[in-house]
């Protein structure tokens, strides 16, 4: 009995394609949604918990050092938003409340 084997000449390829998008609102567009703006201005810890939970993370996440940068990066990756970790760091370091409000508006717009 004779068996013939064929040599594999190429590997199977998996192609993943998605469209890179942009934030639905700018960082400084806080007044686009007055409810989110007021919550971000007066009780940002509550808004941070809601954003984290809506992203599937623990409500305690916003209280960990550097976690809001990671949360922003996670949201950007989830929605295929153009940007970088460096951009996320700059936004969440220089204007954290505006960045938090932008994340909340994005979740609301895409949710």
Quickly count: other Cβ atoms within 10 Å of residue 71's Cβ.
23
Distance from C-alpha of 89 to C-alpha of 101, rounded to nearest angstrom: 15
Inform me whether the pLDDT recorded for 17 exceeds 90: no
Domain residue spans in the chain?
Answer: 30-110
C-alpha atoms less than 13 angstroms from C-alpha of 100 in its C-beta half-sphere: 27
Query: pTM of the prediction?
Result: 0.82
Token readout for 55 is 């992203």
Q: What is the pLDDT of residues 21-77, one digit of tens each?
A: 999 999 999 889 999 999 999 999 999 999 999 999 999 999 999 999 999 999 999
What confidence score (pLDDT) does residue 4 get?
63
What confidence score (pLDDT) does residue 16 get?
64
């Amino acid at each position: 009995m004779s068996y013939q084997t064929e040599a594999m000449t190429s590997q199977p390829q998996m192609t993943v394609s998605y469209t890179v998008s942009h934030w639905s609102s700018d960082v400084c567009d806080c007044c686009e949604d007055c409810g989110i703006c007021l919550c971000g201005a007066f009780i940002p810890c509550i808004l941070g918990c809601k954003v984290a939970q809506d992203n599937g993370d623990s409500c305690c996440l916003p209280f960990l050092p550097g976690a809001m940068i990671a949360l922003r990066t996670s949201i950007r990756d989830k929605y295929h938003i153009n940007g970088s970790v460096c951009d996320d760091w700059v936004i969440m370091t220089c204007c954290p409340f505006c960045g938090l409000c932008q994340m909340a508006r994005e979740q609301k717009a895409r949710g």
